[in-house]
Amino acid sequence: MESKLKLYGFNNLTKALSFNIYDVCYAKTYKEQQDYIAYIDEQYNAERLTGILLQVVEMIGANVLSISSQDYDPQGASVTLLISEGPMATVRGGTTLAHLDKSHVTVHTYPEYHPENSIATFRVDIDVATCGEITPLNTLDLLIGSFDSDIITMDYRVRGFTRDVNGKKLFMDHEIASIQDYINPKILEGYEAVDINLEGSNIFHTKMLIRELDLQNYLFQSDATILSPQAQAAILESLRREMVEIYSGRNIY
């Protein structure tokens, strides 16, 4: 396809990216689990999440119309940005005008822990919905790098149609075979990745599982060097089992 399509009227294709990451941690005691939840809640509070989403909006070349953010008790946070791809103008009375291409970016966090196996997880859900020429796929490297991403699931969908100047319907305005094509190869090297794509329906799904586990990175308030080899192996097995089940989307063990 040409990089710039000649259209009749407005490009009203809707593009939606759902990005989910899971950070897994080993917290042995109830207190460590509570401390981990508190730590995550502080590290990824609404203010920091807003900063990440503002970077996303800047990368896709959109304009922020409004911001809504909230931290929750006992844990979690949400941020929603209403955005516009087109230029904005302020007229008399302070009214803001924008093209009819309103879209949004949202993020929600879900810290939680397993009641028995000393595993705590932190899930982040980010949705980027755009309307028009902009695609959110170029933000994937930023999103992956903004969090400790052990498991990642991504869904990308293009809906609706637009028309060229001859009236022909266009159901896609950019080339895509896999979401992985939009991720830095250096990042992909660290993950096992699999696609489930329905190209005829413009639905693309990719999920990723981190390959190598450095135990110290997964211990909260603990030192791996004081653990016996047997204890280290048992913890790594517990972490890997948790990750595999999340990655597979079903209970296996």
Q: Catalytic residue numbers?
A: 103, 108, 131
Q: Which residues pair with 102 in a beta bridge?
A: 84
- Through-space distance between the first and last CA atoms of the chain, rounded to whole angstroms: 47
> How distant is the alpha carbon of residue 209 from its chain centre?
14
CB atoms near residue 190 (< 10 Å): 14
**DSSP track, 45-98:** -HHHHHHHHHHHHHHTT-EEEEEEEEE-SSS-EEEEEEEESS-EEE-TTS-EEE
- Please name the residues in contact with 36: beta carbons below 8 A apart, sequence gap of 6 or more: 25, 27, 111, 113, 120, 220
% helix, strand, coil for the chain, step of 5: 30, 35, 35
